[in-house]
Structure 1
């Protein structure tokens, strides 16, 4: 495994003057706060000024709008770029001309983690949810972690048991030293997502890590599932030996465990619904009760977020928290009180239709077939719209042409729980002009119709909202899904409706 750089945050970033391009994202804004806590004089820019950037400004981190006339301030000695920023961005090019060091977000996060006791959450699905859950559990258990999540969560600032939820945040800064538990007196905990895109997680230095699943995704980068498996194996090898406290928690099934763990020096434990797993999970959908067993240990809680996949996310957080030395009762109480995070099966509310009748609207980030299937199954089971004479209507915006093309058949199958699917244009990310010509949303609509799903193509968001206003009826459940700007549809639709009585 690679050798960590001790005290990087406190020593190397101290007094540096990084400029962060794309500072407004959840990850980048969290990193900005972390570096500032370590003594760096942080400044940055973003093309969109939001509540997150306003929060940074209020905390003393200068944020400016990234416009056509933007230039790199003269006093900056380091540039950190978001994964969404291209190498030909004018500020990146200016930094090159000036001879400044340039880091990606993942590189900077990894260097920051090397000076902390790092916990990295990996897997094709569930990273943000499990990371937010673990962060809240550790806050409630008194371990005072720093946490960076790829989504915002209203409970992350003070934990699930910290009283009334506050403004949603994607990060929190904790203690410089672990106050209690397995790693007491060690450098403070840093909990973060280990993203496999572009092999970003190969930059991290985790002491503990988890891998929840490995599936085909980002095939424009990897080309094959074998390359993806190898990338996860390389990530697993970054966990230090067991003699140094290193441990990997990996899914008993669905993560190519025998390949990924071959030859590892760290301790390895498995988790899953399989009775043979070291951490054995069981879930009762009707009550939303999750039970986790490990040797003589038994934990149990009733979660707010429905679905087996969320039970597994919570169980992963619970297992990691126990490995970090959290008290069992605090783990159970925290997970029982955790209410979710933005864009992960997020209930937007109930609205009254123009002609009467009430519809319920959810928003979700799912953009991979497995995520779509899991979310729709969970919502069908939890909400039972058919019992009210309603339908499950899904508005899904495909994310990236290459993903849509590679997984077109899987996408068509994943909507089996939906009664109606509405598809706008594919959200363009990274794809070449040639790639964009190879697949379209109409291709997905036709595949869905072949599967017997009522599907239609409506390109414009405003047109989708207007269609929903006239098409939906009392008892319908509307789920807006996708990683792009399609979230606007759910919010605009809710704004167009009357307020339902509680």
Structure 2
């Protein structure tokens, strides 16, 4: 396939705004996925309004684009001429704005349907998987941008500043993070799709691995005719998905990884502190390129991005160099600062596999210093199912402090607390303590750290806000 990307200097901006999204109202507009769609709609000329529970940097960025954002949820927030109400799966049925929409007959649009509509006239490249979606999508967005292709993109995290999670580009390609958590990725029809890994997560929505496989198979069948599925050859669940998809014979599959039978084989990953050099065998030729984020998992994410880009028709050597311009995304092993010789790094890891990968990556770049973790479990359902594995992952740190569970959209589950993780960590030989509050946890981990140590704030909740507090504690 030829890339045929439009010249950003001459190509018109994508004008397509479906009538239902001309004057949308977003409930929870500041969320990672919702704010990106709202941003693209604003850039395409829609009159965007919405509400969120609190002020945030994302909300501020949207207001800078002309969006009207209310703080707090109230039926009165819904404008009389709203053409739709956009929601995510996190919005509860009793939300007053959602109830007002039902009373007035205003159409309710799921955010996945809104994103699918925005991608329809483009060449979509969708990145899925239990872990690594945000990083790989970000790598592609940055690399394609550095090649002058000006892609549109929607990512579950900010690249370098608040509001940088989405962009309405002038090029043909639209790179999107495809979320499997609520099966919303079934709405997309990508030209090229990436599946990084397939594991059981989101236990409130999936009861078994078989349900997970079925969901990813549906996603694969949504690929446009002539398109390609890119899948890891290293991860057990991804290999099983490859077997199932190839058995059906409905879509081209290309695998990548360190496995000997990978179509694009990773020959070597050489770490250099918090960066690495990666060599792959691609179409019979060796190609070496730099990855400026730490850890084997990030190097493999870069290889997935490389293969996906070549399947979109981009030259491998140019794309490999462009991937070297990616230096990370907010909350993915992001350096928050340093005080008294201690670096504080923020990690979004909240599943045991992600926790293990990030801790191994940091361990590789820590030298003689200790690795200390302030961990905030995310969701009662995930903790109930994976507490033991989370505790075992924390055993990779020299010491940890575990906060109470961040509930997000869930109600408490009797008997499910962070003590389950603490007990499992201690059983695995870990030095772990309970942070009885966010402030107490910050003080504990700051008090444990000394020059040369690395402190990780880890979790998908608001533990990220504690980095500055830890740095302040270290400075005194």
What TM-score, normalized to structure 1?
Answer: 0.86
Give the structure 1 partner of residue 442 of structure 2. 465
Structure 1 residue 264, shift from structure 2 partner: 4.3
Structure 1 residue 327, shift from structure 2 partner: 3.5
Give the structure 2 partner of residue 74 of structure 1. 80
Partners of 2:114 and 2:223 lie apart in 1 by 18
Structure 1 residue 109, shift from structure 2 partner: 0.9
Q: Within 5 A, what are the aligned runs for 1:224-263? A: 224-242=208-226, 246-254=227-235, 255=238, 256=240, 257-263=242-248
Give the structure 1 partner of residue 324 of structure 2. 336
Partners of 1:90 and 1:295 lie apart in 2 by 56
Partners of 1:438 and 1:221 lie apart in 2 by 21
1:479 equivalenced with 2:456 (yes/no): yes
Structure 1 residue 15, shift from structure 2 partner: 7.5
Structure 1 residue 77, shift from structure 2 partner: 1.6
SS at match of 1:206: coil
Per-residue displacement from partner, 1:434-470 (whole Å, max 9, x unpaired)? xx21321112111111111111111211112222333
SS at match of 1:375: helix
1:267 equivalenced with 2:266 (yes/no): no
Per-residue displacement from partner, 1:308-333 (whole Å, max 9, x unpaired)? 10001111111112222333343233
Structure 1 residue 196, shift from structure 2 partner: 0.6
Partners of 1:219 and 1:469 lie apart in 2 by 34
Q: Within 5 A, what are the aligned runs for 1:19-30? A: 19-30=25-36
Per-residue displacement from partner, 1:237-261 (whole Å, max 9, x unpaired)? 100222xxx1111112321221244
Partners of 2:53 and 2:466 lie apart in 1 by 22
Structure 1 residue 171, shift from structure 2 partner: 1.1
1:407 equivalenced with 2:413 (yes/no): no
> Is the Cα contact below 8 Å between 2:135 and 2:329 reproduced in 1?
yes
Give the structure 2 partner of residue 324 of structure 1. 312
Give the structure 2 partner of residue 284 of structure 1. 270
358, 363, 377: which one pairs with 1:380?
A: 363
Partners of 2:88 and 2:36 lie apart in 1 by 12
Q: Within 5 A, what are the aligned runs for 1:30-49? A: 30-49=36-55
Per-residue displacement from partner, 1:321-373 (whole Å, max 9, x unpaired)? 22223333432332222110111011112212xxxxx2121110000000001
1:312 equivalenced with 2:300 (yes/no): yes
Higher mean displacement: 225-234 or 460-469: 460-469
Which 4+ residue blocks in structure 1 deviate beyond 3 angstroms?
36-39, 67-70, 327-330, 429-433
> Is the Cα contact below 8 Å between 1:398 and 1:426 reproduced in 2?
yes
Partners of 1:456 and 1:235 lie apart in 2 by 41
Q: Within 5 A, what are the aligned runs for 1:56-67? A: 56-67=62-73
Give the structure 1 partner of residue 6 of structure 2. none
Give the structure 1 partner of residue 352 of structure 2. 369
433, 437, 447: which one pairs with 2:414?
A: 437
Partners of 2:255 and 2:427 lie apart in 1 by 39
Give the structure 1 partner of residue 169 of structure 2. 174
Structure 1 residue 413, shift from structure 2 partner: 1.9
Structure 1 residue 153, shift from structure 2 partner: 0.8
Partners of 1:168 and 1:64 lie apart in 2 by 17
Distance of aligned partners of 1:410 and 1:261 in 2 relative to their CA distance in 1, 3 Å threshold: farther
Higher mean displacement: 448-457 or 263-272: 263-272
- RMSD, matched Cα: 2.1
Distance of aligned partners of 1:304 and 1:473 in 2 relative to their CA distance in 1, 3 Å threshold: same
Give the structure 2 partner of residue 150 of structure 1. 156
Partners of 1:456 and 1:97 lie apart in 2 by 50
200, 219, 231: which one pairs with 1:216?
A: 200
Give the structure 1 partner of residue 145 of structure 2. 139
> Is the Cα contact below 8 Å between 1:348 and 1:362 reproduced in 2?
yes
Structure 1 residue 167, shift from structure 2 partner: 6.2
Partners of 2:472 and 2:185 lie apart in 1 by 39
Higher mean displacement: 71-80 or 287-296: 287-296
SS at match of 1:497: helix
1:396 equivalenced with 2:396 (yes/no): no
